[in-house]
Amino acid sequence: MRFSRPIVIWVLLGLVLFGIFAGGKKEDEVWVSTTENEVILDTDWSFSWRFIGEEIEFTLNIPTTGWAAIGFDPSRMMKDAHYIIGYVSNDGSVFLRDDFGTGDTRHAPDTSIGGTEDVRMVSGTEKDGKTTLVFAIPQDSGDMYDKVLKAGSTYTIILAYGANGADNFTSIHRARKSVEVKL
């Protein structure tokens, strides 16, 4: 059976419109706004970056007073991603750690699996229920547990955070989102 081109176009248009308007936004969908060097997710999560010499400086703004994390290029779920996890303690001290996705739902410090700690803390604050972390990582640290990140390349980026007050590296995430980004 052969269909005429106009019928096929109308059927496809109808399916697209049905997909847009039937059921609204799904829970796992992420509203994303992207500028040249910033991504805003669902209006209250954001991260930005800038290349400075051989490093990339990232700024995370996450809606929690607990830990915040960014992960680069997992192969599946959390596996094989390069993570930077940090938090600001009640006394204002900032803690950061360089981790690697050791499984679909696990990560470990690079230093515990034979890698190196390759994150440089710039600053961290908590204000009005949000945590801001600014840190720098090498574009190519030489550590097998870190991703090589190149300007102009596209990566899957994972953002996650812990519950308010979860000032640690081990509690489960309260929320997680991922997005494809061209650095």
| 48 strand-pairing partners | 38, 59
Looking at residue 43, its pLDDT comes to 73
Which residues does the chain have with pLDDT short of 70?
Answer: 1-35
On the 0-12 / 13-18 / 19+ scale of CB atoms within 10 A, 118 is buried
DSSP 7: H
pLDDT digits (tens, 9 = 90+) for 50-103: 999 999 999 999 999 999 999 999 999 999 999 999 999 999 999 999 999 999
Looking at residue 8, its pLDDT comes to 43
CA 64/CA 61 separation, integer angstroms: 9
Looking at residue 44, its pLDDT comes to 85
- In contact, 72 and 58? CB cutoff 8 Å: no
Looking at residue 12, its pLDDT comes to 46
Predicted structure pTM score: 0.80
List the domains of the chain with CATH numbers. Answer: 27-182 (2.60.40.1210)
- In contact, 176 and 158? CB cutoff 8 Å: yes
Looking at residue 24, its pLDDT comes to 35
Burial 134-152 (b: 16+ CB within 10 A, else e): bbbbbbebebebbbebeee
